[in-house]
Structure 1
Amino acid sequence: MKRSILASTLALALSSSVFANNYALLSEVRDQIKSPEYTQQEKQLVVEQARIFLEDLYVHQYAKDIYYGISPTGHVNAVSEIHKVINELDTLSTEQLHARLTKIFKAQRDLHLVYVHPQPVRSYASYLPFEFDKTLDVLGHSEVRVSNLLESLLPYATDNRLPEVGDKVISYNGKPIHQVVEENLNVGFGANKDAGFVRAIRAITRKGHAVSLVPEDNDVTIEFLSHATGETYTTTVPWITRLPATVTNNASNTNVAHLLEESTNIEAAQHQLIKSELDSDSGSPFITNPSADPQVTWAIQEVDGQQVGYIKLNRFSVVGEVDVSLNILSELLTNELAQIDALVFDVRNNPGGLITYADRLVQLFSAKPAAPTELKFINTQLNYDILHKTIFSTFGPHWQKVLADVNGTNARYTDTASYITVAQNNEFGQSYYKPVGVWSDARTYSSGDVFTCSVQDNGVAKVYGEHKRTGAGGANVMRHSVFSRYIGAPYFETLPHGQEMTVSWRQMVRHGHNKNAIIEDFGCVADQHVPQTLESIKDGGLGNFETIARDLLSEAPNKSTVRFLQSRETDVSASSRTLGIEVTNTELVEIYLDDVKVDVINIGAYGDSTKTVEYTIPASAIEGKVRFIGLDGGKTPLWNGVRYFY
């Protein structure tokens, strides 16, 4: 829900003042946000490690040049530019070096390719006390409007008039707002037209100094048009800086395998943490209920007399393991949301997380086996060495094979491979059997792209886009600190002063309906565009939710149904060994015990009258799983489900 000035002021008055000491005006702390001076040896180390990332590991380097072209003021060729820095290194100060490398990395418009500044700079972030968003007017022309007020920062900006949610931005520091957007396309990290726009307007209201330089001025002057009165007014607001906070390092507790499956970005992850301090805007159009997973909230809304479920997934991080998070969602679908008529699954603003989680989530909605995302490397000797001569050789012979097949050739890329097999991607089975829509936007990124594209590629859900395309983060991301920690010399050396870099290492390739298309820059095109407007900003997106819900409810329902008579897990030592299901409009039911077909029943359940199918688990089977698959007369899958026993 979006905050007005009154609501924000009341919330602030009732909240704790604990955050007050974490923030200060940029003008008061600017001198503290300084990089330590680097020795020439440290400069050489940083530049060489950046060269390795850009030249030997960056999988999108060719695709970016093709998509954007080369321009001295826009996209630049990363490899040629890093060699220019190497040649000029003796003449560059520490500050100039960071600025040059930041520009090269940002010019690729890839949030997975990030140059992270040293400590203490990387621990600071500067914000304006409000957020902007892209809207469309009645003619379909793009606008920039105030979408939210950051309640905890309002006391720092009381000397001038503050905008209201919905007010239109006319100019920024004297320049028309669309010119400002254009100037920030290559510093905001946003890929494609949609993500470029929304990332550009984020870049002028917040700057995480881990990846963005400190603003040149201490404040900004913005001209607004009031949505309520139609008057124009100008206000000057200060940059407000978040001071470094004590951070617990959990790197030693991180699942190493998860580090290789990550698809997220440092900037968005940092912002999510800070945003939770700044206000209570959940991004949902109404009040939601918590779940056992802190990333998942849910609700049920009545729309035209029918019940529509809603799930908000903030990011693709897991509760320990992917199986745990999948089970939480499966239980939510089969219990609290069991009686709904349609489901809206919201991944707007989702910055990503684990690729395997995003891939495996699709099965909960798919009657057919859902295929996992495939990835490929750029063909370099370093990639070959990493997968054959270091600890990374233990992470799968299929990755070694695709690199070995092209090693020593002129092939630009390897063949594709996936993290998991189709069977592994479908171990849970289907949990929801009615119409489902995925609600995305241009900030849906990384594993958010994976999930959104995968529901399209597997044909299991309709995608409703707040923008026409998702954020287009099409790779798994690797951190330099992971390479230096687990591989080290002679390939990687620890960066000085707490620096970090990340790189797009393996390029995601789509399948099914979009076979061989890449996600990077292109993203996932929405099946139906449901744009932000002034009204949707004012009502927090409730109207857009109802538009999506009505479209889902208008779909012809799946006539074939299944109801499981036992819970997902059954203790057969304490109950019957017989599992049962009730089905309608189903010709055949296949039964699998631990992925081996054990029976095919010609149930002939025609019409809405249910028929019961039972399967008795053999006494010799101590634990395992039973999968039921419903088929029509042409043996096309209609539904499936898995029950575990022990």
Structure 2
Amino acid sequence: MAGPRKTAQKTTAQKTTAQKSVARKADRGAPPNRRTGSRRRATETAAAAVPLPQFLAGAGTLTLAQRTLLIDQALLMLEQNYVHLPLKEAMHAVNPLQRLRVLRARTERQTDASMEAEWLFHRQMSGIFHCVRDLHTNYLLPAPFAGKIAFLPFLIEKCFDNAGEHYLITRTITGFTAPQFGPGAEVTHWNGTPIARAVALNGAAFAGSNDAANLARGLESLTLRPLVIQAPPDEDWVTVTYVGLDGSVQELREQWKVTTNLPPMTDLDAVTEASAVMGLDLDSDEKARAKKALYVRDVVELEGGESSAELTAPVAVGAADLPTTMPGVFRARVVTGTHGTFGHLRIFTFSVNDPVAFRDEFVRLAAALPQDGLIVDVRDNGGGHIHASEFTLQTMTPRRIAPEPVQFVSSPLNLRLCRRHKDNPAGIDLGPWFDSLELATETGAAYSAAKPITPEHGANDLGQTYHGPVVLITDARCYSATDIFAAGFADHEIGTILGVDDNTGAGGANVWTHGLLATLLNEPPPADPTTPYEALPNGANLRVAIRRTLRVGELSGTPVEDLGVRPHATHRMTRADLLAGNADLLAAAGALLAAMPHRRLGLATTLTGTTLTVGLDVDGMDRVDLYLDDRPISSEDLTGVPVEIDILDVSPGQWLRADGFASGVLVASRRRQV
């Protein structure tokens, strides 16, 4: 039965006010659903692999002058562009600039005939960049390493029980066999070293920003290494001791192999919006593409060999999955357990070219899932497009999103970059940071003013679309744009964070490549004849954290880098999680959802002539305020029965917003265009 009918009069000023939203691109150039030949390419990925020694035999063509150039350009970027240098020097007691100067002095004493082996040069350069423990700031190896991955034909993951931690085989490449070996076999030793110690030692070589990240990177890199960013393995093969599926103790000797990885999503050297606002852990991104190529062939087939491809029609990868237009980005499922039926929406990456398309597909999938609770799972997500991460937050909260602000470190070269692009709204606009950097020359300020990368209107143009409770699942491999997403989730109090580690990866920055920096001083024309950036040899590259991110809300001003986002609750992965589809993890998330408040904000509208009839059917709220084009129209105290309200003098195209409150606190919001 309908409740009481009320009437609200709209003012003349409101007739001419219209809320505008960020328009979705009409034509994104989405690739069609392609299958022809892609299964063959995926199958050939492992088959085309060559043994590591064979691959390394053809590597090593850098001259002494080219090595010196790489050192000099690394010094330039770390000294003039690297935003975290003061923090890293203090927090980790390191001096990467001095290490580079020493390496350069030693290089000057060498000749082309006497210079050290190239593999040693790459290891020294990688070690210097690794010492700052920043996965945004990298030395990228030249040809033939770029685009290649070294791998063993299996993956290892860690779980816990009452007896402690265990390291289980969770995936094997199709066709690979060994005695009593497969998902569920437990690794005990790695090259004769107890597995936990081997993981810790490996993590020290490929350091993350905190202990949890170190161990996560160390485990993942045991069997998979992108050669563009990690030095090749020292050993030609590994010896693995394991407890087989029948309980027997077995030993496996397996050779490292090298193959070609799937291509990256975007050209990070190009002057585009995507490259300029990228927050991406390249190591994780390379590994995610490698895992698809080696283990998830159905997704590679659907994407036609591209990364994060947007298909013309939704498809389902697994029988339990909802169809999606982005099978390499999302996986959506309905999960049922003792605590109820909820939605599980996995986000594998934010590395997309179109952040609005990303947000809209998230909204579509969330709407197709149960509305009584949503599990958003960002484990292993190395980030990507910062706009995609921050545009999506608004869909789960009634609060207005404040995008995280970012800062440049104050330096002459950063000032020069911002001066050149301070009046460039059509390109990469650095105007918001220019005045403060120019003033820093006189004041001695260490950083520029803090301004958001993500436009605030884009972070709020759609508003809340999912009204059920939300749990976010994180781990130590969440990095960059995913750290920003998790920080925004926490800072806006969207829901509960459940971590399988004690922290996220703690990567809080926007990252630019040497190629992008060099191009920015030459575009728009004319080129800068005094640019300090020089072309790098043989396809080598450098990446640097260029702008650091700061928290908002109660932790306003706190950097994300090295601190990360701590969960509200933790869950240690179990054997059932690794081998039975995250069964215990999803049960833990379901228990959290069941304990959270449940809201419903039903909004029905009918426009008859110039009269808009609004029907409200809500749960978990005691008041709803109505706005038309952001002007207040009515405030309704609710008694639990549906309410109808007539709003007079309304024009098609105007925007209606309903804000729901519980005990004076905003708890839900819904927008609709008339």
Residue correspondence of structure 1 range 488-527 to structure 2 within 5 A: 488=522, 490-527=531-568
Report what 1:342 is aligned to.
373
Letter of the structure 1 residue corresponding to residue 172 of structure 2:
L
Report what 2:666 is aligned to.
637
Pick from 463, 480, 484 the counterpart of residue 514 of structure 2.
480
Q: Deviations over 1:218-251 (max 9, x none)?
A: 210122234x544432221111211478x69964
Question: Does the CA contact (< 8 Å) of 2:422 and 2:431 recur in 1?
Answer: no
Q: Deviations over 1:428-482 (max 9, x none)?
A: 1001111110111111111111111211111011111111211111111111111
Distance 1:108 1:20 in 2: 34
Distance 1:165 1:252 in 2: 36
Letter of the structure 1 residue corresponding to residue 61 of structure 2:
P
Distance 2:598 2:421 in 1: 52
Letter of the structure 1 residue corresponding to residue 545 of structure 2:
S
Report what 1:554 is aligned to.
595
Distance 1:178 1:618 in 2: 67
Question: Does the CA contact (< 8 Å) of 2:280 and 2:351 recur in 1?
Answer: no
Question: Does the CA contact (< 8 Å) of 1:307 and 1:340 recur in 2?
Answer: no
Q: Deviations over 1:379-436 (max 9, x none)?
A: 2111111111357865143222332342344332233211245444211100111111
- Give SS of 1:290's match: coil
1:144 Cα offset (Å): 2.9
The two structures, once aligned, show a CA RMSD in angstroms of 3.1
1:239 aligns with 2:256: yes
Distance 1:624 1:147 in 2: 53
**Cα distance change of structure 1 residues 43 and 575 upon mapping to structure 2, 3 Å threshold:** farther
1:331 aligns with 2:364: yes
Pick from 112, 117, 134 the counterpart of residue 110 of structure 1.
134
Distance 2:359 2:277 in 1: 16
Letter of the structure 2 residue corresponding to residue 637 of structure 1:
L
**Cα distance change of structure 1 residues 299 and 269 upon mapping to structure 2, 3 Å threshold:** same
Report what 1:582 is aligned to.
616
Distance 1:400 1:391 in 2: 6
1:505 Cα offset (Å): 1.0
Letter of the structure 1 residue corresponding to residue 124 of structure 2:
R
Greater RCO, CA 8 A, separation 6+: 2
Distance 2:366 2:615 in 1: 17
Question: Does the CA contact (< 8 Å) of 2:342 and 2:374 recur in 1?
Answer: yes
Question: Does the CA contact (< 8 Å) of 1:391 and 1:486 recur in 2?
Answer: no
1:267 Cα offset (Å): 2.2
**Cα distance change of structure 1 residues 97 and 280 upon mapping to structure 2, 3 Å threshold:** closer
Pick from 85, 96, 103 the counterpart of residue 61 of structure 1.
85
TM superposition score normalised by structure 2: 0.82
**Cα distance change of structure 1 residues 625 and 494 upon mapping to structure 2, 3 Å threshold:** farther
Question: Does the CA contact (< 8 Å) of 1:587 and 1:602 recur in 2?
Answer: no
**Cα distance change of structure 1 residues 552 and 248 upon mapping to structure 2, 3 Å threshold:** closer
Question: Does the CA contact (< 8 Å) of 2:237 and 2:256 recur in 1?
Answer: yes
Question: Does the CA contact (< 8 Å) of 2:502 and 2:566 recur in 1?
Answer: yes
- Give SS of 2:538's match: helix
1:263 aligns with 2:279: yes
Distance 1:610 1:396 in 2: 50
Question: Does the CA contact (< 8 Å) of 2:42 and 2:293 recur in 1?
Answer: no
1:102 Cα offset (Å): 1.0
1:138 Cα offset (Å): 1.3
Question: Does the CA contact (< 8 Å) of 2:576 and 2:583 recur in 1?
Answer: no
Distance 2:442 2:492 in 1: 35
Question: Does the CA contact (< 8 Å) of 1:342 and 1:434 recur in 2?
Answer: yes
Identity of aligned residues (%): 21
Question: Does the CA contact (< 8 Å) of 1:24 and 1:243 recur in 2?
Answer: no
1:119 Cα offset (Å): 1.1
Letter of the structure 2 residue corresponding to residue 272 of structure 1:
A
Distance 2:210 2:145 in 1: 29
Distance 1:317 1:576 in 2: 45
**Cα distance change of structure 1 residues 48 and 59 upon mapping to structure 2, 3 Å threshold:** same
1:275 Cα offset (Å): 1.5
Report what 1:38 is aligned to.
63
Aligned residues: 601
- Give SS of 1:384's match: helix
**Cα distance change of structure 1 residues 289 and 254 upon mapping to structure 2, 3 Å threshold:** farther
Q: Deviations over 1:111-165 (max 9, x none)?
A: 11111111122232110111122322315x444332322336x2xxx5x536332
Q: Deviations over 1:319-348 (max 9, x none)?
A: x532222222223333x12x4311101111
Report what 1:467 is aligned to.
501
Q: Deviations over 1:581-637 (max 9, x none)?
A: 41436455444444x4242x1311123x22234546744xx7453333233563x32
Pick from 20, 24, 44 the counterpart of residue 18 of structure 1.
44
Letter of the structure 1 residue corresponding to residue 603 of structure 2:
F
**Cα distance change of structure 1 residues 577 and 406 upon mapping to structure 2, 3 Å threshold:** farther
1:77 aligns with 2:95: yes
Query: 5+ unaligned residues in a row in structure 2: which ranges?
Result: 1-38, 300-316, 523-529
Question: Does the CA contact (< 8 Å) of 2:612 and 2:650 recur in 1?
Answer: no
Question: Does the CA contact (< 8 Å) of 1:132 and 1:144 recur in 2?
Answer: yes
Pick from 366, 371, 376 the counterpart of residue 397 of structure 2.
366
Question: Does the CA contact (< 8 Å) of 1:436 and 1:461 recur in 2?
Answer: yes
Report what 1:376 is aligned to.
407
Question: Does the CA contact (< 8 Å) of 2:499 and 2:570 recur in 1?
Answer: yes
Report what 2:71 is aligned to.
47
